[in-house]
Every structure is written in C-alpha cells, then in structure tokens.
Amino acid sequence: MKKFSTLLSILLFTATMLFATGAGDKTETASTGEVEQKLTFALQNEPDGLDPGITNNSFASPILLNSFEGLVIYDKNNSISGGSAESWEISDDGLTYTFKLRNNLKWSDGSPLTAKDFVYSYMRVLDPALGAQYSGMLTDFIVGAAEYYAGSGDADSVGIKAIDDQTLEITLIKPTAYYIGILGMWVYSPVNEATVKANGDKWTLSAETFVSNGPFTMKEISFGEGYELVKNENYWNAANVKLEQLNFRFIPDPSTALVALGTGDIDGQWEIPSADLPSLKADSDSLQIIPSYGTTYYEINCSKAPYDNPKVRLALAMALDRTSLIENVLQSTDQPAYSLIAPGYSVDGIAYDEGRSDFGLSPNADVEGARAMLAEAGYPGGEGFPTLELSYYTNEIVKNIVEAMQQMWQENLGIKVNVSTEEWAVYYENIQALNYEVGAMGWGADYMHPMTFFPLRVSDNVMNNSGYDSAEYDALVEKSQSETDPLEAMRLMRKAEDVLMADMPLIPLYFRSSPKMMAPYVKGWYITPLNNMYLSGAYIEK
C-alpha cells in the first residue's frame, strides 16, 4: 500500500505556476491586533447556484471553496494536502483509495460529519434527477458509478463505501494517477443530508438552511447583491482561521469595482477592466497577475448547418487576429491559443505542448487562408453564408472581445454577424440545449492534468455542449485514460488532440493568465493555477 498524509503532498503541476501572498513565517505568526478581520471581495457575476454537487459554474468557486471542504485541497505550494481527510492509502494496484478522516469533524451547525456523509453526497451526485453538471467526475472513474447513474446498476455495486465513521473507501475502474487531484474539485465536497432532505433544492437559498463544513459558513444571502459569510467555529482548523467575516459583493462593472477598491469600500476584486490594466501594472500595488491553467474559446454548434462543416469552423478560427484581441482589446498577458488544451503539464521534463502543431492557426489573422477555406466550404467571398449569430453572457470584457470578433469576421470573411447577450444562467441553459450558433465560453482546469480538457468534446459527456461526435476521438481519450505509463498516455492525448483540432469543433482564442486585485494589507491568501482562491489563512494587517 502507498500511504499519504498531510505531511507528504503530491505535486501535480510541474511548472511553478502559483501566486501566494503573505506566505511563510509571517503568515503563520503575525498578530492581527485590533484590526477588524473583515474582507470584502467583489465578484462580477452571480453564480447560478451554490450546491457543490450540482454546479460547474466557475463564478461559484470563491464561495464554494471557502465554505465547503472535500477530502483533499490544493495548498499554497500547489500540492495536494489533506482537507477533511487526515491521511490516505492507495492500494498497490492503484484501484483502491482509503481515506482516514480527521477526528471530530463537524458541520457548521455542530452536528458530526462522518464517512457516511461523503457516501451520501457522492451517491446524490450519481442520481440523474439531481442534474449534477460534474457527474462525469465520478462516473468516469468509480466502479459501478456509470451503471448506477444510467439506472442499470444498484447502489451496493458502486465503489464508494464507509468502512466506519472515519474511514472512506473509493474503488476505481482503472488506475488513474491524477485521480487524487480530481478529489480536490468541489463536486467531491460533502453536503449535509439532514438539511438537503428537509429543504430539497432550496437548501442553498437561505443562510438558515445553508450548512457547510469549510472554514467559513453563510450568515446572509442577498440575491443580486452578495453573500456574507462568517468564520465557521466548528471547522476542524478554526484556530488558524483569522478572518471573522468574509463578504462577496456582486459588482457587474469592473470599473465600478475598481473605484470601490480605491475608496476602501472593498478589499479586492475578481475582474479588472482591460483598459486600466496597463496603468495598474505600472502603478498599483494591489495588482497580482497569476498564471492560469485555462483556455478561453468559443463554442460552435456542430449540429447546425453551416457549422456542421469543419471547413466553415476552420475558416472562422483562421480569420481572427488573436494578437490584436490580447494586446488591443484585453490589454493582457494572455497568450494566443491554437488548441483547447492549455500548456503547463509535463512528464519527465517533456512538456505536453512541445513540438505541438498550430492546427492551421496563427497569432494574426490569416485572411487569405480563411477566405480560401470558406470558399472550399461553398461560400466564396461569404456569398450565401447565413447571418452568424454570435452569443455571449453579460460581461464587459467579453462584450469587447465579441465586438472585435464581429468586426474581424465581417471584414475578413465578408459575412454578416449578429451579436446578442443574456445573463449567465439563461445563456448557459441555451448553450447546454444547443440553442446557439457560436458562443463565448472557456475552461479553467479542474485538476492539474490535460485530461481536464478532453472530456469537453467526448460524444456522450454532459459537458459537451457543441454537438461534436467523433468515435475516433472518444476511443483515443478512453485509451489514454486507461494508460498507466505517463509518457504513453501523453502520446495518446496528443493524438486525440490532433483528431479534435483537425475537426475544429471550437475556436480557441487565448491561454489565460489571471489578473486579480487585492489590497496589500490582505495577507495569507492564495490562488492556484486552477484559478481557485483560498482564504482560510487570510488576514488583515494594517
């Protein structure tokens, strides 16, 4: 058996792509004095929900990751450490994970938290009636989970067992070296069975029924305005949580948030107005640019003509000037993307993207090539091409990108482009229902491995919102997931990527960096390359 504890963490991301502030001895020993330990942070978008078993919405991550805690977490060194689990063992065949929970774990309401709560929570995700958007993170890996989810298997056959109150056992379908990182996702957080059963799907709508197990818990919910959280006195590590109050305020306009930061009304913000980024880089001591393992791309509805033609999709991708979008619109430190799969992963010193093709794309628009490709698809000079419906969710930065893309396509391809926007919840429902043509999207990695991206285009995956269907791609992804040799697995992933990008079922724009604003007097917080912000160690020092 291989045994792991919080003293031995597993480095999952080979590049040192992490920003942490206030780390080290000062963070651990600094006296908070008489300074009020209250942090107010601005978010641009309101989440579509706060049930960790249901949502895959990144807008929810700052709230979920600080109010719930799974078996493991990513620490400030970007390594896996124990969360609710004190230690774990992995069987020699790599199939069985046995977790020892910490002593006397409790929910925020003071009731005991046991291994049975994890079993309940994971089985709940496997109930198709729940609509869990991350159900694949269980069905793809755990014995019997896919069959149970499909209705062809029973609960006793699922590889999730409570051996006793402090011992949880998970059995995998096949050895998966990166599975321990997947357990850091919020879908693997426990939820309180009593409050869920008593309140149904409304349990996250009121602070009185919002029971959690993380460093903070809900005090007040004001939809459309924000959330007020307070220190969870029943958290196992409450003695080291310094903030007494944590407020998330919704401020849709990042320029308005920037003003609020300047006046001290807030202490940090998630989104930064692109027009202000150059001056902030030069003058602000609050700006932090964090490397991010993620990709911004545009969905294409491959089931709808003319977008069911790969040549049309490639023409659209070739006609965009990524350098101009990054430098003139975003004014950011992002990098042009030619694929869905972000760089940053390596095996034995060999980077995943080493020698990778550009898949016919370039930093600048290839106008001649794009026009030729569109002509091959049957639309010379854009003649006969229907008006392209370009959709996006309400967001000032995305709006600027969309308007620039609209102009590029109209000028470079001679087609008409209509732009429309909706609030996120409505927008994402339409994306999932394939009620769109081309739409803004992106993917911040859920765990530190390229496989976090590949399921997005697997034919029957719930997160495939494009209508793309390739048996060859599906088979290569499945084979790479089963491969135990990391180098061979990487070779298979590269081959799957070649198949995917030859079909171009999405338009990659840029690989992300993640600029954030946080006042310099806020110490002890950190953000990982997964764009996950952890505030359990944060404190105010003025």
Q: What structural domains does the chain harbor?
A: 2-256+519-540 (3.40.190.10), 290-514 (3.10.105.10)
H helix intervals, 68-144: 115-125, 136-139
Better-scored residue on pLDDT, 368 or 13: 368
Mean pLDDT, rounded, for 239-256: 97
Six-digit token pair at 224? 């459309």
Q: How far, in Å, CA of 353 to CA of 322, rounded?
A: 19
- Checking if the pLDDT of 165 tops 90, the result is yes
- The pLDDT tens digits of the residues spanning 44-63 come to 999 989 999 999 888 999 99
* pLDDT digit string, tens, across residues 131-159: 999 999 999 999 999 999 999 999 999 99
Q: Give me the pLDDT at residue 33, please.
A: 54
Crossing angle for the helix pair 367-376 and 396-413, to the nearest 10 degrees: 70
d(CA 514, CA 146): 35
Residue 79 binned pLDDT confidence (cut-offs 50, 70, 90): confident
> Per-residue pLDDT tens for 255-283?
999 999 999 999 999 999 888 888 998 88
Q: Residue 190 in contact with residue 113, Cβ under 8 Å?
A: yes
* DSSP code, position 501: H
Q: What is the DSSP string of 280-341?
A: HHHH-SSEEEEEEEEEEEEEE-TTSTTTTSHHHHHHHHHT--HHHIIIIII-SS-EE-SSSS
| Residue 74: other Cβ atoms inside 10 A | 26
Is the pLDDT at 18 greater than 70, yes or no? no
Q: Helix, strand, or coil here: 27? A: helix
Residue 512 DSSP class: E
Mean pLDDT estimate for the chain: 92
Q: Using alpha carbons only, how large is the chain's radius of gyration in Å? A: 23
> Structure pTM?
0.79
User: What per-residue confidence (pLDDT) applies to 1?
Assistant: 45
* CA dist 233 → 241, 292, 408, 522 (Å): 9, 32, 54, 21
Beta strand pairing status for 438-444 and 388-393?
parallel
Mean per-residue pLDDT, 374-399 = 97
